[in-house]
Amino acid sequence: MKLLKKGSKKFDIIAIGRACIDLNAVEYNRPMEETMTFKKYVGGSPANIAIGTSNLGLIVGFIGKVPDDQHGRYITDYLHDKGVDTTQVVKDKEGRKVGLAFTEIKSPSECSILMYRDNVADLYLTPEEVDEAYIRETEALLISGTALAQSPSREAVLAAIEYAKAHHVKVIFELDYRPYTWATQEEVSIYYTLVAQKANVVIGTRDEFDMLEGKENGDNQTTVNELFKYEPDLIVIKHGVEGSYAYVKDGKQYKANSYKTKVLKTFGAGDAYASAFLYALFNGKDVETALKYGSASAAIVVSKHSSSEAMPTVQEIEQLIAEQS
């Protein structure tokens, strides 16, 4: 299955959505109330995937909105230093701030995130700030679910999808559900369904697909049967330590197990997974191999302190796969 073609356009992939700041606890095994030291990183699912795919060798661009302040400059400079094109990163001129995520690492199974997402710049990207000509220059457009949570970011993303469709650009939807951003569960289901039906590739956890469907304990086959009535060609459903499954419109399905690792924290795994999975597809790997790349990448990132800074190299991914094959 050759869904994505590397090098056919100026960019392999352009991500749109949030770029924020993660402040990860440096002191492990302590509740946040007692934690005094944090380390700063760039965060936000689409920004992390942009960094991860660029780190693996894809040509990547980013569309988003950041504050016109020190934090906004830090994010833009970091993306640029990681090889991501930042010409479409818009500066907010209305005094809005960056989203902040404080992370608590009490144990490998007890990790929490305290989010500050009120009046954040990334949710105020407007349709007028999305350049159709820029999207025309990419093979694929990556949509992150959080950008759909509020207007005008929601409309900006929907406009970007229409531009992608007009220019035969593949749409990749990473569900990226974050409950603190949404008003109601019904709203999640409406907009996730709308975008999933228009996407060519949909990636998410089983719980995220349940949010899309507006129900509990959904099953994979029902999910893919419904979405394959529309535009998706490939659907990836992750089940944590049980592994991940890929379903292709022609009826084929694949599974990859998770990889053993010394887990430090749980966040960042999904972004690392998507980055390596997409890299593998762009480089002609089959779907089953792409699943293995995604799983291995996730295992590497959960063993390290950051998300964006921990994105692995191709060599690291392939080494882990070889060691545990």
Q: For residue range 109-145, what is the model confidence (pLDDT) as tens digits?
A: 788 889 999 999 999 999 999 999 999 999 999 999 9
Q: What are phi and psi of 99, to 5 degrees?
A: -70, 140
pLDDT at 253: 97
> Is 11-19+45-97+120-323 CATH 3.40.50.2300?
no
**How many Å is the Cα radius of gyration of the chain?**
18
Distance CA 106, CA 87 (A): 39
State how beta strands 234-238 and 38-43 pair.
unpaired
Residue with tokens 């934090």: 71
Q: For residue range 268-309, what is the model confidence (pLDDT) as tens digits?
A: 789 999 999 999 999 999 999 999 999 999 999 988 877 788
Q: For residue range 219-234, what is the model confidence (pLDDT) as tens digits?
A: 999 999 999 999 999 9
The predicted model scores a pTM of 0.96
* Phi-psi domain of 163 (left: phi exceeds 0; alpha: psi -120 through 50; beta: other): alpha
Q: For residue range 48-90, what is the model confidence (pLDDT) as tens digits?
A: 999 999 999 999 999 999 999 999 999 999 999 999 999 999 9
E-state strands within 49-184:
60-67, 85-92, 100-107, 110-116, 138-144, 170-174
pLDDT at 325: 84
Arithmetic mean of pLDDT over the chain: 94
Residues 6+ apart with CB under 8 A from 273: 203, 238, 244, 294, 295, 297, 298
Residues 6+ apart with CB under 8 A from 136: 163, 167, 169
Residue spans per domain, the chain: 11-19+45-97+120-323
